[in-house]
Copies of this chain bind each other. A is one copy, B any other.
Amino acid sequence: MPITSFVEVQPDSHFPIQNLPFGVFKPQPESEPRPAVAIGEFVVDLSVLADAGLFGGPYLRNTDCFHQPNLNKFLGLGRPAWKEARATLQKLLSADESTLRDNASLKQKALLPSSKVQLLLPIAIGDYTDFFASQHHARNCGVMFRGPENPINLNWFHIPIAYHGRASSIVVSGTDVIRPRGQASQSPKSPPYFGPSNKLDFELEMAAVVGPGNELGKPIDISEAADHIFGLVLMNDWSARDIQAWEYVPLGPFLGKSFSTTISPWIVTLDALEPFISHPAEQIPPPFPYLTEKEPKHYDISLQVSIVPSGEQHESVVTRSNFKHLYWTITQQLAHHTVNGCNLRPGDLLGTGTISGPEADSLGCLLELTWNGQKPLSLDGNISRTFLLDGDEVIFTGCCKGDGYIIGFGKCSGKILPSP
């Protein structure tokens, strides 16, 4: 029998007491942002609980980490503090604990209906890195752009390939996405034209939120990598395929990506995901020792993308994938990132790359689903798409099915607005 909360939680809610994802919100438009966890249809204001002296454990007693406009300070405290916060909150919110349950005035201050508050970007992101960790995605892109003979470069099987992304343009779910303008060309040898992107795409990703991090010059050992990951979010790495194709040789993606990247407002902790660990297949060739894990871990997280086409109300599911389809684990990604001495800081974001599965209906972007626009995708109601049109809304959801509860990520959505 799973533990329950005095807060009513619907059986299909993403946010039961087993989850308690962390975020940041403003109760009123003019309020200061402050940390929260989600439970059912409510947000729990952690600054109120801290003011009431309810974080009495050794790690949180003397910190102002819940009186901050983002979670970075809390992230910097590390896993012992994260576990203490989670245990404290699970106890305070449980059905048989009276402290908060029977204190009507505190409860009214601390528990606010989610529908009435504004959710914000939960972290100040110092650096954002995007990996390329799905073999299915790497193969499909390789076949499309370099041909079927040798679709994946040899380096891909040895390195969790990644590039630096743009941190300033990361936005929270619900923020509109303005169609980027830029240069594109019919082929790398043809002269370019300039205009709004005609190949605007989503990329279904998740991202790891970094905890304490490391000093410059001191790599994080793979055996300690998990202690530097607080949790996961859903991420849409919006991509303008035409801009990207023209610009990316030889230094990688730039303006084809940097116009917007959307993340979900709630960070689901690795602690909440613990029951959903999934063991990946053996990696062949075996990775270098600095990437070799005693017990490699993925998480069994069902992911879904739907589109609400411009002018419609109804959403059509366009893909169903799973986090466990990745080849490289998030701990391998993190260890690789620091092996050269690069320093990670609290709040850094490590995107997984597009999470494509093996089947035709589990591909993580329109580039793959429509084979670069050659096979239009049928949506409900006699509507079809190659790439996104102005007014289209893209909605990602993700969840793990537990025994009598769901651990979910809520949603990560954005609607396309026309170019200026």
Chain A residues with CB under 8 Å of chain B are 126-127, 132, 153-155, 158-159, 161-169, 171, 178, 180-183, 185, 188-189, 191-192, 194, 216-219, 240, 243, 246-256, 258-260, 285, 288-290, 336-337, 339-345, 348, 417, 420
Which of A126, A181, A252 has its CB near the most chain B CB atoms (within 10 A)?
Answer: A252
| Docked CA distance A248–B240 (Å) | 21
- B168 and A258 form a contact (CB under 8 A): no
Could you tell me the dominant secondary structure of chain A's interface residues? loop
- B219 and A159 form a contact (CB under 8 A): no
Among residues of B, the one whose C-beta sits closest to the C-beta of A258 is B342
Among residues of B, the one whose C-beta sits closest to the C-beta of A419 is B341
- A342 and B169 form a contact (CB under 8 A): yes
Which of the residues B163, B255, B420 comes within 8 Å of A251, measured between beta carbons? B163
Knowing A178-B341, A341-B178 are in contact, say whether A163-B164 is a contact too (CB < 8 A). Answer: yes
Knowing A182-B339, A258-B342 are in contact, say whether A249-B126 is a contact too (CB < 8 A). Answer: no
- B342 and A164 form a contact (CB under 8 A): no
- B254 and A155 form a contact (CB under 8 A): no
10 contacts between A and B (CB under 8 A): A155-B246, A158-B191, A164-B166, A168-B342, A168-B343, A169-B341, A181-B219, A182-B340, A243-B340, A260-B341
Chain B residues contacting A182 (CB-CB under 8 Å) are 339-340
Copies of this chain:
2
- A288 and B183 form a contact (CB under 8 A): yes
- A163 and B246 form a contact (CB under 8 A): no
Among residues of B, the one whose C-beta sits closest to the C-beta of A138 is B250
| Docked CA distance A248–B256 (Å) | 18
| Docked CA distance A48–B249 (Å) | 50
| Docked CA distance A337–B207 (Å) | 25
Knowing A169-B342, A216-B169, A243-B340 are in contact, say whether A158-B255 is a contact too (CB < 8 A). Answer: no
- B159 and A247 form a contact (CB under 8 A): yes
A415 to chain B, nearest CB (A): 13
| Docked CA distance A217–B290 (Å) | 41
| Docked CA distance A289–B345 (Å) | 40
User: Which 6 A/B pairs are nearest by Cβ-Cβ distance?
Assistant: A252-B252, A180-B340, A164-B164, A163-B251, A178-B217, A255-B340
Which of A127, A171, A194, A336 has its CB near the most chain B CB atoms (within 10 A)?
Answer: A127
Which of the residues B163, B417, B420 comes within 8 Å of A219, measured between beta carbons? B420
Which of A164, A217, A252 has its CB near the most chain B CB atoms (within 10 A)?
Answer: A164
Chain B residues contacting A341 (CB-CB under 8 Å) are 169, 178, 180-181, 259-260, 420
| Docked CA distance A161–B246 (Å) | 10
Which of the residues B164, B254, B259 comes within 8 Å of A254, measured between beta carbons? B164
| Docked CA distance A334–B191 (Å) | 22
